[in-house]
Amino acid sequence: SYSLLCTGWGGYNNYSFLSSVRCAFGSVSFEACFMCVVIFCALCSCSYNLIDFYYNCWLSLLLFPLIYVLFLICILCETNRTPFDYGEAESE
């Protein structure tokens, strides 16, 4: 996100700077989505310890497909793929 912010600022144009700030805020919000996945896994197992999660979380068989889909959506957001591409879908 810093590279986008620096290129927008270096262009000496208000619109490019606003677009780079928007992309930087998008990256921060996608990181928040990653943290939601981690916190959700920790809440299900009552611990951040992976061994406790493996042995104590019998509900993980039902929750992992949902968490995996959310993780894939986060990956698509972070890599700016087709539904979330800011650079190619700009109408400004």
- Asked whether the beta carbons of 53 and 61 are under 8 A apart, the reply is no
CA distances from 88 to 9, 33, 45, 85 (A): 20, 23, 40, 6
Q: Is the pLDDT of residue 86 over 70?
A: no
Q: Strand, helix or coil at 48?
A: coil
For 28-84, what is each residue's pLDDT tens digit?
A: 777 787 788 888 877 877 777 877 777 766 767 777 788 788 888 877 777 766 666
